[in-house]
Chains A and B, each alone.
Chain A
Amino acid sequence: MAEATPILSVQDLVMHYTTRKGDVSAVDGVSFDLENGKSLGLVGESGCGKTSIAFSLMKLLPDNAKIKGGSIYVGGTDILQLSHDELLKFRWQRIAMVFQAAMNALNPVYTVGDQIIEALDLHWGDLSREQSRERIGQLFEMVGLDPKLMDRYPHEFSGGMRQRAVIAMALSCNPDIIIADEPTTALDVIVQDRILRELKKIQEKLGMSMIYISHDIAVIAEVSDRIGVMYAGRMAELADGVDIFEHPLHPYTYALMRAFPSIKGEKHELVTLPGEPPDLLFPPPGCRFHPRCPRATDVCKQEQPPFADNGRGHFVACWHPMEANHE
């Protein structure tokens, strides 16, 4: 599959949070590639490590988080080796992030335009005020906002407009990669649908690569070329979108798909997984999914399954993957 060099390559990333009760192993040996101009969707439940990966990629880690190992190559450079100053240039210009909860990503005491100018100044240096405003006007039009709105304050924006402004901010420095962390979670479906379509359009127009992060498999299914399913800090399965829906190999992926109601197709009984995701202070040995897995055997309890390619770019970490024609 990998003919071209991927724009982003994450290898064996390990990240821990230190808490008063001990270390939480939030990300444990995650690897994936992102090809230029493509989109990758990371899906999983809360606490599965998907947001921690996003913060690691941006190197915007909370004080108590620490990257313990692995490498993150962006266009050939390992960003984990960069100095603080190099990182400042790197962030936003190569990788930008659209934050979760657009409410808090904007400072309420500055106009939306001024906040984007701040980001512009940081990276483009000496732009005159007119040039900056012109650029913001372009960005606003690109995300579907009226350029006249740039002098308004965040509280005058609706939730959808705020999310668009945050997207404009992420676009301001022409990044190669955009990470969208739950970009539409707090929004109503109609607005969500519009924003997702616009993000897709912008991505195609600018030829960017995207990483979408969401708990909603339906959102991920709509926007991603490749889908990675995460569970308890590890990547369970990674494959092309259609492939993963047609032949899910990991029992967790299978369960996740059967647990989502849909308004299309036959109405089917939703399957419930027993138990709850593990406490990552004390992750279970072996495969982290084994306590809830209907296919678990002794080997699952003792040894961690390798994250292996089945030959067609379909990676899975499971000792007993589902048969390709299980349905």
Chain B
Amino acid sequence: MSNNNDKPLLRVQGLKKYFPVGGGFLRQARSFIHAVDDLEFDIPMGGSLGLVGESGCGKTTTGKLLVRLHEPTDGQIFIQNEQGELEDIAHRKGESMKTFRRRVQMIFQDPYESLNPRRTIYDTVAEPLVVQGIGTIVEREERVAALLERVGLTPATSFMFRFPHELSGGQRQRVAIARALIIDPVFIAADEPTSMLDVSIRTGVMNLMMELAGEMGVSYLYITHDLAVARYMCERIAVMYLGKMVERASTEELLANPLHPYTRALISAVPVPDPRISRQAIDIKGGVSAPIDPPPICRFFARCPLGDDFCENNPHPPMEDKGGGHYVACYKV
């Protein structure tokens, strides 16, 4: 493994994705949804980052940008290449893009939609190998079988030629994990991979993901709406609100000492699976709206209990280090 610990595996700078609203063929869009607006973060080699936020905050879009399912409107996505140098892949195309595809993979939320119902488990897991032209048929078969066993689908030979509909949700998600790992990626974006699974199945998949990531030295971005899951899965957590990152810190620091008013409200709203613990809910007014052509001021201003004239007349606050790598974007803390 070409390891270089000084450099992050992945570095994102000024990442933006605007989606046009109401435009069409030969018709210019008038307004834009600022789905992801000026993100900046690093993920170290072998590290994990939990991306947390409510629906519509841009966390899934961020994941899709990192694996280049979307092309960013602006900004850079640096990722270490095989030589350990940072390469910007934000606007890659063609053959060099295909090489980059070997380095990053994604695991999707819905295990019923992420596997092609007409292809066998073998076809699905081997697809990256086939597309990238890696190995002979026999080698691929061996590799798929070995990985299926590793993700807990034993005996692999009995699973390889089944179809997705013959598998349970948990088993399907294991297949999706196998597909993501088959070409030895260095980075995986996992988009709520366990949110549709039942509790007794979910923990198995979560533990498996962590184990495999550790074993194979894969870094991951774990996208979730559930802070408790993010706490369990990730070393660091970043909170997003309407396309902006508002706070980022190591997991325990963020949960114990949240600084941004939104993070505080979010944490206080999470129900605790124990009636003996009572929590103090912090209420914030209003609801989430879509960030269509938002004003340049702090995105959270309309709902913020701390907001004042200064916030109203200044641009969205920059991410500032409050010590120990605890970044927060707020003028008032």
Residues of A within 8 A of B (CB): 45-46, 158, 160-161, 188-194, 196-197, 215-219, 221-222, 241-242, 245-246, 255-257, 259-265, 267, 270-273, 276-277, 292
Knowing A196-B271, A270-B206 are in contact, say whether A259-B283 is a contact too (CB < 8 A).
no
CA gap between A241 and B273 in the complex, in Å = 11
User: Could you say which interface size class chain B belongs to?
Assistant: 35 or more
A222 to B272 alpha-carbon distance, docked (Å): 7
CB contact list, B186-245 vs A, under 8 A:
198-204, 206-207, 225-229, 231-232
B255 beta carbon closer than 8 Å to chain A: yes
Q: A189-B266, A190-B54 are in contact. Are A246 and B276 (CB under 8 A)?
A: yes
Q: When the two chains form the complex, which single residue of B199, B271, B277 contacts A265, counting CB atoms closer than 8 Å? A: B277
Name the B residues within 8 Å of A292 (CB-CB). 200
Is B276 a contact partner of A245 (Cβ separation < 8 A)? yes
Closest to B252 in A: A267
User: Which of A161, A190, A267, A277 makes the CB contact (< 8 A) with B198?
Assistant: A277
CB of B284 within 8 A of chain A?
A: yes
Known contacts A191-B287, A221-B271, A255-B200; is-contact A260 B228 (Cβ 8 Å): yes
Evaluate whether A263 and B207 lie within 8 angstroms (CB atoms) in the complex, with A217-B199, A270-B232 already known: no
B267 within 8 A of A: yes
Chain B residues 44-74 with CB under 8 Å of chain A are 54-55
Question: Which among A192, A216, A265, A272 has the highest number of chain B CB atoms within 10 Å?
Answer: A272
B281 at the interface (CB under 8 A from A): yes
| Interface pair A256/B228, CB less than 8 Å apart | no
Task: Report the bound CA distance from A242 to B207 in whole Å.
Answer: 28
Shortest distance between the CB of B128 and any CB in chain A (Å) = 27
Contacts of A188 in B (CB 8 A): 54-55, 225, 288
B269 and A262 within 8 A (CB): no
Question: Which of A45, A189, A255, A273 has the most B CB atoms < 10 Å from its CB?
Answer: A189
* B146 CB-CB contact with A under 8 Å: no
Interface membership of B309, Cβ < 8 A: no
- Contact: B272 with A263, CB < 8 Å? yes
B residues near A264, Cβ cutoff 8 Å:
272, 274, 277, 279
Contact indicator B200/A256 (Cβ below 8 Å): yes
Taking the complex as formed, is B323 at the interface, i.e. its CB lies under 8 A from any CB of chain A?
Answer: no
- Are A190 and B203 neighbours in the complex by a CB distance under 8 Å? no
Given the complex, which residues of A lie within 8 Å of B207, measured CB to CB? Answer: 270, 272
Query: Closest Cβ of chain A: how far from B248's Cβ, in Å?
Result: 17
Please determine whether B273 and A221 come into contact, CB atoms closer than 8 angstroms. yes
18 additional contacts (CB under 8 A) given A222-B275, A262-B274: A45-B201, A161-B287, A188-B54, A188-B55, A188-B288, A189-B271, A193-B270, A194-B269, A259-B200, A261-B228, A262-B272, A263-B227, A263-B270, A265-B274, A265-B277, A270-B206, A270-B232, A277-B200
B304 at the interface (CB under 8 A from A): no
Contact of A218 (CB < 8 Å), options: B267, B268, B273, B287: B273
Could you show 6 A-B contacts with beta carbons less than 8 Å apart?
A: A193-B270, A217-B199, A222-B271, A246-B276, A261-B232, A270-B207
> Could you tell me the distance between the alpha carbons of A157 and B198 in the complex, rounded to whole angstroms?
29
Chain A residues whose CB sits within 8 angstroms of the CB of B276 once the complex forms: 242, 245-246
A241: B residues at CB distance < 8 A? 275
- Determine whether the beta carbon of B200 is less than 8 Å from that of A273: yes
Which of A189, A259, A271 is the one whose CB lies under 8 Å from B269?
A189
Chain B residue at smallest Cβ distance from A258: B203
A residues within 8 A CB of B89? none
Contact at A271–B203, with CB atoms within 8 Å?
yes
In residues 256-293 of chain B, which contact A (Cβ within 8 Å)?
265-277, 279, 281, 283-284, 287-288
CB-CB < 8 A to B269: which residues of A?
189-190, 192-194
- B170 CB-CB contact with A under 8 Å: yes
Does B3 make an interface contact (CB < 8 A)? Answer: no
Interface status of B314 (Cβ within 8 A of chain A): no
**CB-nearest residue of chain B relative to A158?**
B287
Which of chain A's residues have a CB closer than 8 A to the CB of B275? 221-222, 241-242, 245
CA distance A45 to B168 in the complex (A): 14
Are A45 and B198 also in contact (CB < 8 A) when A188-B288, A189-B54, A272-B207 are?
yes
